Amino acid sequence: MAHTILVAGTASHVGKSTVATGLCRLLADRGISVAPFKAQNMSNNARAVPRAPETMGEASDAVSDDGGDNDAYGEIGVSQYVQARAARVSPTTDCNPVLLKPRGEGESQLVVDGVGVGHYDAGEYYDAHWETARAAAVAAHDRLAAAHDVIVAEGAGSIAEINFHDRDLANIETARFADADIVLVGDIERGGVFASLVGTLELMPDDLRDQVVGVVITKFRGDADLLAPGIDAFEERTGVDVLGVVPYDDPGLPAEDSVDLPATDERAVRGDGDGVAPEHSVTVAVPRLPRVSNFTDLEPLAAAAGVRVAYVPLDASLADADAVVLPGTKNTVDDLLAIKDAGFDDELQAFDGPIVGLCGGYQLLGEELRGVDTEASSAAAAELSATTLPGIGLLPVATTFTPEKRVVDTTLDIDGTGPLAGANGAVSGYEIHMGTTEATGGVETPFARGGNASAALGASAGDVLGCYLHGLFENETARRAFVDQVFDAAGRERPAGSTPDASPYAQAATLVAEHCSLEFLDRLPEEQH
C-alpha cells in the first residue's frame, strides 16, 4: 500500500494547495508513482473527470446525446484536477470522492464519487450522509493506494477545529485511515504564525500529534534569516522541525473557491501587472455573481498581454468596459434574480461591445428560463410565482431545467462568429450543468459535435455569444480570437506578447524544492524510489 502525506493547515488559504501541488510534481520528477487526494472538498470550481470504474455500477450503461458514456464522468474540485496534472496521472473521481458545492442560504449540493446526491444544509449532511461520505472517501483512498506508491492528500481549513474533530473528513479522518505523515502549513502574512502553529499542534488529537513530520511557513516577504530565532524557539518548544520558509510568490494555480474573489460589492482587477500601459490595454468586465462558479474560466484571459479582467458588483456601470463575460453560476435562477434586482440586466442590454456567457452565463443571456422551480434554491423557489422566468434577452434561446445534470469532458469543433470570429478548429473543455438550451429565433451555432451544430452547445447573435464549454479560453484559438475582437471593438492595437504557460506545476515544485528540507521524503520505502 502507498505511503500517504497529508498537507494540513492552520487555517484556510495558507498555501496548502501550492505545497501539495509542488510535492506531486517533485515526486513525479523522481520517478515515483504519486496521486493527489482530498477526501472532502468544498468548492464551486469543479472539473469533469472520469469516474472511478468501481463506483459506476449499472449507471455506466447510460449513453449521452453525443454517443458517449455521459455517466462515465463526474465532478471533482479544481485543485485535485490540477494536482493530478502536476503528478502526471489521469485524474478520476477517486482524487476527490466527496465534494460540497455551496448554493446559498446555508445549503450545498453533495457530490459523492462524482455524482450529485442531493442538496442539504450542514446539519442534515452530518446527521444523515456523513458516514456514507466517509465510506466513499476510505474506499477511494484504498483504490489510489493500491495503484500508486505515494498519495499526497490535501486537508481543508484548519486541522485544529476542536469542535469538528469527530467529523473532520479531510483532516482528522484522512490522517487516521491513511496513517499519514502530516506536513503542517502556516501563513506568516496574516501574522502570528508561530502562535498559530503552536496552537494547532496543541489542539490536534493526541494520537495524531506524533504523525507530524514538520511544518512549512508560507507567504514570507523579506529576509528569512530574520526568522531564525523564532524557528529555533518553535523547534525547541514543540520538537517539530520547520521544513522551510516559502516566499510570497504566486505560481498561478487556479483558485479553489470564491474566497479568492472580491466581495460582491467590491471591484477587483486581475492581469494588470504585465507592464502594458493602461491606454494600450482593454478591460473585460465580469459581473461578481453571488453564486459564481468555475471562474477559473477567466484566468487565461487575465494572463493575456494587455487584458484586464475586472470583477464588478452587479450595481456597477459598464462605461469603462470593452467587453463582458458572464461566468458560470451554481444557481442560474437565483443569480438572475440578483441581476434584475440590481438593474444589471439593463446595463447589459445597453452595452455596446462583445459579450460572452459561459455555461450559466449562457443561460442568463437567453430569452427565457423554464422549469425554474427545479433549479432554484429552496429560498428562491419559495418566492417564485411561476415556473418560467424571462432572461436577460440578448440571445434568442431558452433553457429548460430538469433534475438531471450533464457532466462530461468533451471536444467540439468551432467555426467562430461574433465575439469568437476567427476561431476555427477543435476546442476542448468540459460541461457541468443542469438544463438544456434551444434556439427560439435566428441564431448562429458556432459549436458542433460530430458535425452537428446546435444551440444545445452554444449560440451567437451579433456581438453576443454563449456556450456550455468550460475551459473555452484555455484553447488558444478561442482565446486569441476573443482578445482580437475585444481590441478591435475598443479601437486599440493589440500589444505584442503571448499568454504565459498556464501550467504552474513546475513553479510550485520549485518553490517547495528550493525553500524546504524534504528529508522526510527519503524515509519512504526504498521500493518506491
End-to-end CA distance of the chain: 14
CB atoms within 10 A of CB 106: 13
**Residue 459 near residue 395, CB atoms below 8 Å:** yes
Closest CA to 323 of 359, 292, 361: 361
Give dist(CA 343, CA 360) in Å, integer: 18
Give dist(CA 108, CA 129) in Å, integer: 13
Task: Return the half-sphere exposure (C-beta side, CA atoms, 13 A cut-off) of residue 415.
Answer: 9
Pairing of strands 98-102, 73-77: unpaired
Give dist(CA 442, CA 50) in Å, integer: 36
Give dist(CA 183, CA 493) in Å, integer: 49
Active-site residue, 141 included: no
Helix-strand-coil percent breakdown of the chain, rounded to 5?
35, 30, 35
Q: Which of 13, 24, 148, 359 is catalytic?
A: 359
Give dist(CA 210, CA 514) in Å, integer: 26
Our measurement of the distance from residue 10's CA atom to the centroid of its chain's CA atoms, rounded to an integer in Å, reads 21
Burial 53-89 (b: 16+ CB within 10 A, else e): eebbeeeeeeebeeeebbbbbbbbbbbbbbbbbbbeb
Residue ranges with strand state E in 274-374: 282-287, 292-293, 307-312, 323-326, 328-329, 355-358, 366-370
For CA atoms 335, 341, 346, 347, give the dihedral sign: negative
Closest CA to 28 of 79, 81, 82, 86: 86
Beta pairing partners, 3? 150
Using a 10 angstrom Cβ sphere, with 0-12 exposed, 13-18 middle and 19 or more buried, the burial of residue 231 is middle
DSSP secondary structure code for residue 393 in this structure: -
Reading the block at residue 85, the C-alpha cell is 496534472
Q: Which of 13, 470, 515, 516 is catalytic?
A: 470
Give dist(CA 399, CA 383) in Å, integer: 20
**Residue 365 near residue 391, CB atoms below 8 Å:** yes
Beta pairing partners, 516? 244
**Residue 152 near residue 27, CB atoms below 8 Å:** yes
Q: Looking at this protein, which amino acid is placed at residue 292? A: V
Active-site residue, 516 included: no
Beta pairing partners, 36? 152
**Cα angle 482, 485, 488; round to 5:** 150
Give dist(CA 394, CA 118) in Å, integer: 32
Active site residues: 359, 470
